[in-house]
Amino acid sequence: MTDSWHGGAAAVATLTFDVDAETPILAQGREYARHATTMSHQAYGPDVGLPRILTLLDELGVVATFFVPGWVAEHRPGLAASIVERGHEVAHHSYSHRPPTSMTPEEERADFERAMEVFADQDIEIAGHRAALWESTWRTAELVAEHGLRYDSSLMGDDRPYRIPTAAGEITELPVHWSLDDWEQYAYLPAPHIGSVIESPAKALELWRAELDGMRRYRCLFNLCLHPFLSGRPGRIEALRRLVEYALERGDVTFARCRDVAMAAAGDPATPVRPQREPEADPLTYPV
């Protein structure tokens, strides 16, 4: 084992699951609460997909991180604890799943802190955060640091961990990318209209294997984002099984919880520092 964030592995894989349940749809309008079919599609995630995923992880002997909105944890008591009991991590994923970019600074803070209160009430230790829809604001990183969390996983400035200094302290960023998200592959709803083509699990597996092979060459963080209401379905979870088995067979891929990667990266002097800078958007050049 080395002192580097990757511990000598060719790539580090973080399997992350956004346990959104009904929240991303309700965030688009509370009128969708009366759409029974749509709500059942979302409830499939925690009710069916999540237990299936936890069993798969047990079978494969790998750990994962579950980003849970506070609303979901609050409305399903015991859900977060059931994840932690299996050796996995629960992390902050907003309260309401409303994206920070749609909120005022006061609303973003209130939503963030409401989720923190839910997890505190349930004795769930939280080390990291992921913004709803990955739509961080320039305030988000400081909010994460202010509340004592170690990492964020919402930005796309690298394919390896990096440090973000803020006025409230430094955090580690575990970057994401659309190519490693099952939403772009599988998400479909008629109302609200989401997606138009449901891809084959074989295509998703091909895409993710290609990314993993490239990341093994460049020693990257393979940060895969999945949703239990999408990837918890039978054909898709079998593709996930084959992906994890493929990674394990390579012999040079390590699976880890996000909090452990963030801690290792924070202690690695080679982890780059990338201060956040909002670009100047001149109104004459870029009118609203």
3 falls in which pLDDT band (50, 70, 90)? confident
What's the whole-model pTM score?
A: 0.98
Could you read off the pLDDT of 153-175 as tens digits, one per residue? 999 999 999 999 999 999 999 99
Residues 232-255 have a mean pLDDT of: 98
Q: Would you say residue 61 has pLDDT above 50? A: yes
Residues 66-75 have a mean pLDDT of: 98
Q: Residue 28 and residue 88: Cα distance in Å, rounded?
A: 30
- The tokens for 172 are 């580690």
Task: Look at residue 274 in the predicted model and tell me its pLDDT.
Answer: 98
Q: Would you say residue 190 has pLDDT above 70? A: yes
Query: Is the separation of the CB atoms in 91 and 68 below 8 Å?
Result: yes
Element (H, E) at 171: strand 169-173
Residues 195-214 have a mean pLDDT of: 97
Mean confidence (pLDDT) of the chain: 97
Task: Look at residue 288 in the predicted model and tell me its pLDDT.
Answer: 85
- The Cβ of residue 107 has, within 10 Å, a number of other Cβ atoms equal to 13
Q: Would you say residue 236 has pLDDT above 70? A: yes
2 falls in which pLDDT band (50, 70, 90)? low
Closest listed residue to residue 24, CA positions, set 233, 194, 138: 194
- The Cβ of residue 116 has, within 10 Å, a number of other Cβ atoms equal to 17
Count CA atoms within 13 Å of residue 151 on its CB side.
28
Q: Would you say residue 227 has pLDDT above 90? A: yes
3-state secondary structure of 53: helix
- Percentage of the chain exceeding pLDDT 70: 99
Could you read off the pLDDT of 96-154 as tens digits, one per residue? 999 999 999 999 999 999 999 999 999 999 999 999 999 999 999 999 999 999 999 99
Domains along the chain? 11-266 (3.20.20.370)
186-194, long-range: CB < 8 A, 24+ apart: 186/230, 186/231, 186/233, 186/236, 187/227, 187/230, 189/25, 189/38, 189/41, 191/32, 191/35, 191/38, 192/25, 192/28, 192/29, 192/32
Q: Would you say residue 33 has pLDDT above 70? A: yes
Task: Look at residue 127 in the predicted model and tell me its pLDDT.
Answer: 98
Task: Look at residue 159 in the predicted model and tell me its pLDDT.
Answer: 98
Count CA atoms within 13 Å of residue 10 on its CB side.
14
